[in-house]
Amino acid sequence: MIDLLSSLATWVVPILIGTILIHGYWAKVDVFAAFIEGAGEAVGMVVRILPYIITIYFTLDLFQSSGALNLLIGPLQGLLSYLSVPKEVVPLAIIRPLSGPAAMAVVLRLMEKHGPDSLIGYMASTIEGSTDTTMYIATVYYGSVGVTRPRHSILVGLTADAAGFAAAVAVCNAIFGRG
């Protein structure tokens, strides 16, 4: 069964590409031109958002390096310890709703320092997969369609992020860590 799944996984991307090409041919779409146009738009978007990503990453790094994060986490250390939340993953919980690439940089830094097979490594990757870039999504999508009153959607998104963080910590502790 594992061999069949492995074999199938190897063919997923080629089948997807083939399906897109066949559909484009039947729909009489110049797939190559559409791809080039989309790639050009993506480059423009990267150039537009790169300063924000760098700013968020730099600010978080400054926040950590200056000791301000430790001042924030310090009073919460007892609660974090009681809940079995390693203080090393708290910055990830803060940055993940703001920026995916900056959060990935935090995950990579945690992996380099603690190792991918450590409790913190498992927890960081699980948090990365179980939360979303809520504020970034709201900014981009609401800005693109002109939504000026998001109402409760941002609160719901951040609540879902907090639930994902809590679930990731609980599951990783139950499976890999301190029970």
Condensed to tens digits (0 to 9), the pLDDT of residues 45-98 reads 778 777 776 777 788 778 878 988 788 888 888 899 899 999 899 989 988 998
Instruction: Dig out the tokens for 164 from the structure.
Output: 């994902």
> Higher-confidence residue: 61 or 119?
119
What is the per-residue pLDDT for 102? Answer: 81
Instruction: Tell me the per-residue pLDDT of 120-157, one tens digit each, with 9 for 90 and over.
Output: 999 999 999 999 999 888 877 777 677 888 889 999 99
With a cut of 80, say whether residue 172 has pLDDT above it. Answer: yes
Average pLDDT of span 106-114: 94
Other CB atoms within a 10 A radius of the CB of residue 174 amount to 11
CA 160 from chain centre, in angstroms, equals 13
What is the per-residue pLDDT for 128? Answer: 95
Average pLDDT of span 20-44: 89
Tell me which residue of 60, 113, 62 sits closest to 86, measured CA to CA.
113
With a cut of 70, say whether residue 159 has pLDDT above it. Answer: yes
Instruction: Tell me the per-residue pLDDT of 16-29, one tens digit each, with 9 for 90 and over.
Output: 999 999 999 999 99
CA distances from 82 to 24, 39, 91, 178 (A): 56, 48, 18, 11
With a cut of 60, say whether residue 179 has pLDDT above it. Answer: no
Tell me which residue of 52, 54, 83 sits closest to 165, measured CA to CA.
83
What is the per-residue pLDDT for 49? Answer: 74
Q: What is the DSSP letter of 177?
A: S
> CA 54 to CA 17: how far, in whole Å?
33
What is the per-residue pLDDT for 1? Answer: 64
CA 164 from chain centre, in angstroms, equals 12
pLDDT-derived band of residue 15, with 50, 70 and 90 as boundaries? very high
Task: Write the CB contacts of 95 (distance below 8 Å, at least 6 apart in sequence).
Answer: 56, 60, 102, 103, 106
Contact 53, 92 (CB under 8 A): no
pTM over 0.85: no
